[in-house]
Structure 1
Amino acid sequence: MKSEVKMMLSGAWFWEGFSSFLVSWFNKGRFSVSMIQAPLNMRLETVILCSKVQEIVEEDGEEPSLLDLPELALECVLERLSPAELCSMAGVCNSLRDRCRSDHLWEKHLKHKWGRVICEAASKELQCHIASGKKPSLLDQRNQKVFFGSLISMWPFSWYKPKCESVNKPTTCLPVDSIMDLYLSLESGKFWFPAQVYNRENGDVGFMLSCYDAQLSYDSKTDTFQAWYSPFPRRSIEESIHWDRLRAPPVGTPANVLHTSDCLNDLKPGDHIEIQWRKSREFPYGWWYAVVGHQELCDGNENRCLCRYNEKVVLEFSQYTPGSRWRQTIVNRKGHREVGNEAGGFYGGIRKLSEEEEISKWKQLWPKQIFD
């Protein structure tokens, strides 16, 4: 029996099936194992092992407890639970509640779902939002039928309340800096967080191959986002934005501040860049994709090209037709500041793209036809 159990515990598949079994067990409120009661995705070997555990318990005449597991085994079980399962398990008892809201358990869930769109600034803003007492009221969303709606309507969420709602039971409150709290605040859609949106306003031609700062809110019903842009003099809202159009701001420069360019001396033809551009000085900057081109008199031959040594840098926006006023702009390597006018807009700071993932993303967004 011991050798058989040891072999089963060494397999990763065991923990996946066993954790599902435990959640099912506690939800049922008893420890009675049969082929019908066991979760459908549980392996037969796991069911057999759990049946043997039941036999041992019946012989001892004691009701088993999940907390009887060794510390390492219990941690392995909890690490394999989904957010919904962690919330369900948290309602079993005080001890499991404290364990199931541990930061190290929720950190991987936060990174897995939100890591690509949440920057450090957004995390700090969210913590300030929570600390101010404006936690989302999860108990008001019991009628939602989607994943998170069903998750937050489970009975374990009776303990998830802001401090102002639980003054008599302070031990049931999450700390304001809890990662679980951050995760649930994002999922609820109550918190608007800063991020950037590619091809804003449903791919309007005027914003193709650009990326703009926005405040975003998640809609768990559709698994999409709502974006709020605040350009002067009007504000616009865009709905139904999918995950593939979002990114965390790659630099910490605010949208209304000129980015300090530290790559100008290294730029050469063929390099991929993003440059700030705004219609007028009253508007915030957006980031626009471009490629460094050759000087007018250069034939593009690598053996004769001296463009990288020229003080002027040619930037090509190939989504526009040759001859278009938007096709090309020239910046100075030395002392580059914002350049432009009210007719053609203002070009700001430049950042060189060195990651293939960033370059590939812009290529995926390339329009089906070029514009005038």
Structure 2
Amino acid sequence: MSTEGRMLLLGPRFWGDFSSFFVSWFNKGRLLVSLFQVPMKMPLKKVSLGSRVQEIVEEEEEPSLLDLPELALECILERLSPAGLCSMAGVCSSLRDKCRSDHLWERHLKQKWGRVIGESAHKEWQWHIASSKRLSLLDQRNQKGFIGSLNSTWPFCWFKPKSESRRKPTTCLPVDSIMALYLSLESGKFSFPAQVYNRENGHVGFMLSCYDAQLSYDSKTDTFQARYSPFARQTIEQSILWERLRAPPVDTPANVLHTTDCLNDLKPGDHIEIQWRRSKEFPYGWWYAVVGHQELCDGNENRCRCRHNDTIVLEFSQYTPGSRWRQTIINRKDHREVGNEADGFYGGIRKLYKAEEISKWKQLWPNQIVD
């Protein structure tokens, strides 16, 4: 074979097309039959020799996916869906180990869950891992722990490969693997902290706000259930769509005042989120607002001195002019939680720099001004 031909054969384009071919066959269910289920007994061929008939074993070697070069096999596995990886993992121990590799599942986790899984969710997952390991040490014979419950949703993942002896125990999925995290999220067994826009199905009292909640996923409806603070009027909300969720943008618990570091930079027209809570007993939610002009400023850019004023005007334009919720004023020099039991309490501020964050709030804008 010429040098050019060998380069073409070993190039990434070849392996990409080659792996796509195998994946298409796998998705049709043919590979399991044609490649993996090697017959235990070879076919027999009868040969007549005079008066006797002898049975001669005709040896036939079936091709195996594991005979492929490592690069080709890796390309195939990278193109499989999560369900495909789980099915492939049930073929044999070698493929099982490869199919649950973190680098394969990390892409699936980021692609589906990256927008709603933040640092707080990963921390809670680590806590679950540590808790599960402690329970395992207390009673290693009891396999009904947190990760063991995944069997009810993805049972085919844990089946012992047919090619292995029935006397060998089934290998459990490592609790600290990314595959375990993905399947726990997918099955709804792991509820994670995130934030919900316009809570309580867009109730008028929560328009253009975002509140912390514990979310669990329902794969049948592709929606979420949210559990809010027990102080809320409605603590559980069902059928929440993906577009109403986000990962917490800052690592500040809902009952803690956020440390504001952008006060000196704020000027009219800036987009911000500010903490607000109904009373001292309630957790904070994040509310969208825009920095406005001072009362005596005409808004002319050449004459505006609002950014040098000690006070900052925040406009909540979803409320009608004259509403007590339309505006609030904070102190640039000495900002802390301000408010009262009648109007609620305003807390920390974060300035929005990313266009996608601002665009998201505009998409949630109510159809009509709120009184």
Corresponding residue SS for 2:30: helix
Any stretches of 5+ residues in structure 1 without a counterpart? Answer: 33-59, 142-151, 161-167
More helix as a share of residues: 1
Cα offset for 1:139? Answer: 3.0
Residue 340 in 1 paired to residue 318 in 2?
A: no
Deviations 1:121-155 (A, max 9, x none): 211212322443322523334xxxxxxxxxx253x
5+ residue gaps, structure 2, are 38-58, 133-145, 162-167
Question: What residue in structure 2 maps to residue 47 of structure 1?
Answer: none
Structure 2 matches for 1:252-271, cutoff 5 A?
252-271=251-270
Q: Deviations over 1:301-329 (max 9, x none)?
A: 00000000000000000000000000000
1:69-148 → structure 2 map (5 Å cutoff): 69-133=68-132, 134-135=146-147, 137-141=149-153
Cα distance change on mapping 1:217 and 1:298 into 2, 3 Å: same
- Aligned counterpart, 1:217: 216
- Alpha-carbon separation, structure 1, partners of 2:32 and 2:150: 21
Maintained 8 Å contact 1:127/1:176: no
- Summarize the Cα distance change of 1:9–1:252 in structure 2 as closer, same or farther, 3 Å threshold: closer
Structure 1 residues 61-106: Cα deviation after superposition (integer angstroms, max 9, x where no partner): 4221111111111111111111011011101100000000000000
Name the residue aligned to 1:36.
none
What is aligned with 1:15? Answer: 19
List per-residue Cα deviations over 1:131-189 (Å, max 9, x = no partner): 43322523334xxxxxxxxxx253x43259xxxxxxx83x7122221000000000011
- Partner residue in 1 for 2:173: 174
Question: What TM-score do you get using the length of structure 1 for normalisation?
Answer: 0.82
- Contact 1:218-1:224 at 8 Å conserved across structures: yes
Residue deviations 1:187-225 (CA, integer Å, cap 9, x gap): 011111000000000000000000000000000000000
Identity of aligned residues (%): 74
Cα drift, residue 7 of structure 1: 8.7
The 8 Å contact of residues 136 and 185 in structure 1, kept in 2 or not, is answered as no
| Partner-residue secondary structure (3-state), 2:298 | coil
Closer, same or farther in 2 for the Cα pair 1:278/1:26, shift >3 Å?
A: same
Greater Cα radius of gyration, structure 1 or 2: 2
Q: Distance in 1 between matches of 2:36 and 2:104?
A: 25
Alpha carbons of 1:6 and 1:233: their partners in 2 closer, same or farther (altered >3 Å)?
Answer: closer
Shift in alpha-carbon separation, 1:348–1:71, aligned structure 2, 3 A: same
Match of 2:239 in 1: 240
Residues of 2 paired with 1:342 and 1:308: CA distance? 30
What's the CA shift string for 1:201-259, capped at 9, x where partnerless?
A: 00000000000000000000000000000142655100000000000000000000000
Change in 2 beyond 3 A, CA 1:159/1:121: farther
CA contact (8 A) 1:116 1:248 kept: yes
| Residue pair 1:9, 1:15 contacting (<8 A) in 2 also | no
- TM-score of the pair, normalised by structure 2: 0.83
Is the Cα–Cα contact under 8 Å of residues 197 and 245 in structure 2 kept in the other structure?
A: yes
Whether 1:25 and 2:61 are equivalent positions in the alignment is no
Runs of 4+ in 1 over 6 A off after TM superposition: none
| Kept after mapping to 1: 8 A contact 2:151/2:158 | yes
Deviation, structure 1 residue 17: 2.6
Aligned pair count reads: 327
Residues 256 and 283 of structure 1 are in contact (CA less than 8 Å); yes or no, is this contact kept in structure 2? yes
Return the alpha-carbon distance in structure 1 between the equivalents of residues 331 and 284 of structure 2: 19
Residue 106 of structure 2 contacts residue 178 of structure 2 at CA under 8 Å; is this kept in 1?
A: yes
